[in-house]
C-alpha cells in the first residue's frame, strides 16, 4: 500500500484512501474506481474557477443553533436490546478479534 498521496494533487491514490476508509479493494475494483474517481474529481474541480474570497462557509443551512437540555438521566435502549443485532456477543459484551497479544 502506498503511504502517501500521488504527486499529482488531482489524482488520488485510490488504494491509500480506501485504506483510510478501512475498505479492502480488489485489483479490478481499484482500477475501475480510479478511472471513475478521476472523472468525478475533474468534474467537481470546476469549483476552483469560482472566487470565494471573503465568503463564509455554510455547514448547516437554516436554523442552526446550539440546543441545550437539562442534564438528566433518561432510559436508553438497554443492554440486551443494544446487543440483539450484534454479529457476536458474549457475557453482555460485543466480541471482536483479539487486539493485544
Q: Which residues bind another protein (CB under 8 A)?
A: 5, 9, 12, 14, 17-25, 29, 33, 36-37, 39-41, 43-48, 50, 52, 55-64, 67, 69, 77, 81-82, 84-88, 94, 96-99
d(C-alpha 14, C-alpha 5), whole Å: 9
For CA atoms 94, 96, 99, 101, the dihedral sign is positive
What are the backbone angles phi and psi of residue 35, rounded to the nearest 5°? -65, -45
The minimum distance between CB 61 and another protein, in angstroms, equals 3
Considering the complex, state which of residue 2 and residue 5 has its C-beta at the smaller distance from another protein: 5
Of residues 22 and 90, the one with the C-beta less far from another protein: 22
Task: State the minimum distance, in angstroms, from the CB of residue 26 to another protein.
Answer: 8
Measured distance CA(38)–CA(17) in Å, rounded: 13
Report the C-alpha gap between 100 and 8 in whole angstroms: 38
- In the bound complex, what is the minimum distance in angstroms from residue 80's beta carbon to another protein? 10
Amino acid at each position: 500500500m502506498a503511504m502517501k498521496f500521488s504527486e499529482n494533487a488531482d489524482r488520488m491514490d485510490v488504494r491509500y484512501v480506501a485504506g483510510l476508509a478501512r475498505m479492502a479493494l480488489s485489483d479490478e475494483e481499484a482500477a475501475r474506481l480510479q478511472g471513475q474517481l478521476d472523472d468525478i474529481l475533474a468534474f467537481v474541480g470546476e469549483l476552483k474557477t469560482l472566487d470565494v474570497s471573503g465568503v463564509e462557509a455554510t455547514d448547516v443551512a437554516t436554523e442552526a443553533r446550539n440546543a441545550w437540555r437539562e442534564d438528566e438521566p433518561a432510559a436508553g435502549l438497554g443492554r440486551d436490546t443494544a446487543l440483539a443485532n450484534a454479529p457476536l456477543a458474549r457475557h453482555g459484551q460485543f466480541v471482536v478479534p483479539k487486539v493485544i497479544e
